[in-house]
Amino acid sequence: MRHFLTLLDITPEEARHILARATELKTMQKTGIPHRTLAGKTLAMIFDKASTRTRVSFETGMYQLGGHALFLHSGSTQLGRGEPIEDSARVISSMVDGVMIRTFAQENIQQFAKYSSVPVINGLTDLTHPCQILTDVFTYQEHRGDIAGKTVAWIGDGNNMAHSWINGAVSFGYKLNIACPEGYCPDEKMLAAAHALNAEIVLADNPLAAARNADLVTTDVWASMGQEDEQATREKAFAGFQVNADVMAEAKPDALFMHCLPAHRGEEVAAEVMDGPQSVVWDEAENRLHAQKALLEFLLK
C-alpha cells in the first residue's frame, strides 16, 4: 500500500509513468472511450479548507473511473468535534478504498496515513500540494515536451506550491530559480533535502533575475488559506514581486506562465499575463482531472 503525501513518495520513474497514463486517460475522456478501471471503489475526500479544483477534479475523476467519491467537510464530521485523527483514520479507511485530505498541518495527514488501511492522498497542506505539481509538470510537457533540463522561475511566496516546485526539481530534473521577499523564503529543510538529492535550485536576488531565460514562470497568491489576516502586511512585503510583462520579458520568448489558481489579478500576477498568450492556466486547471485520475489508478487499483 502506498500513500501520496508529498511528490517524493513516488519515484521519478513512477511519476513519469503516471503522467504518461494521464495522457492516455485524457485522450480516452475526450474521445468518449469508457475507462471504468476503478469500478466499485470509493474515495473519501476530507476538506478542512475551501476548494474548487481539487474537489471537482477528484469527485469527477472517481465517477469517470467507475467509482464514487464522498465529500466530507471536516466541520460536519466527528473529526471537527475532536474525534482523534487515528480513530477517524481507522474507521473511515475500513469502509473506503482511498482517502484524499486537504488540511493545515502536514503532520495531520502523516498521522492519518499511519493509521489508515488504504492509500492517503495529500490534497494540499500548508507544506505541500503534490497533486498540483504533478499536474503542472504534465501541463508543461503537453505544451513543450520534456521538462528535464528546462528552467522554471518561481516568484513570490515560499509557500506550499514553492515547496512542491522544489520537490519537482528532484523528481523531474528541471532547474528552479526562486525569488521571494526577505522573510518569505521556502522552508530551509526542504531546500536542503532537495539539494542533497542533486536538485539544481537557486535563490535569485529579484524577480527579474529569477525569470531570466526561464522556460516557465509561475507564482501563487501572497496570502494562502489560513493567512487571510496577514493580507495587508503581505501586500506590502510582496510589492515588486508581481509577475507582469516586465518579468515575462526576461524569460524566453516561448516561456509559459502557470498559476495553480485561484489567482488575484493585480497582486501576484498582472491581468495582462494571466489572460495573455503565454498563460496556460486553464489547461493547468483542467489537467488536475486527468493527472489525478492516473494517480488514483496508480494508488487504488
Answer for which of 153, 191, 258, 260 binds ligand CP (CB under 6 A) is 260
The closest alpha carbon to 289, from 3, 1, 30, 8, belongs to: 30
Which entry of ligand NVA, ligand CP, none binds 125, CB below 5 to 8 A by partner kind? none
Span from 45-53, 152-160, 192-200, 269-277 in contact with ligand CP (CB under 6 A): 45-53
* Residues recognised as catalytic: 102, 129, 132, 220, 260, 288
Name the phi and psi angles at 151, rounded to 5: -115, 125
Q: Residue 54 interacts with ligand CP (CB under 6 A)?
A: yes
Which residues face 269 on adjacent strands?
A: 243, 265
Among 72, 127, 161, 170, the residue binding ligand NVA under the rule CB under 6 A is: 161
**Nearest residue to ligand NVA, by Cβ distance, number only:** 224
The site map against ligand NVA for 214-253 (x = CB under 6 A) is ------xx--xx----------------------------
CA terminus-to-terminus distance, the chain: 10
Range 10-49, binding ligand NVA (CB under 6 A): none
**From ligand NVA, ligand CP, none, interface partner of 52 (C-beta below 5 to 8 A by class):** ligand CP
Residues making contact with ligand CP (CB under 6 A): 51-54, 124, 132, 260-261
Residues making contact with ligand NVA (CB under 6 A): 124, 159-161, 220-221, 224-225, 260
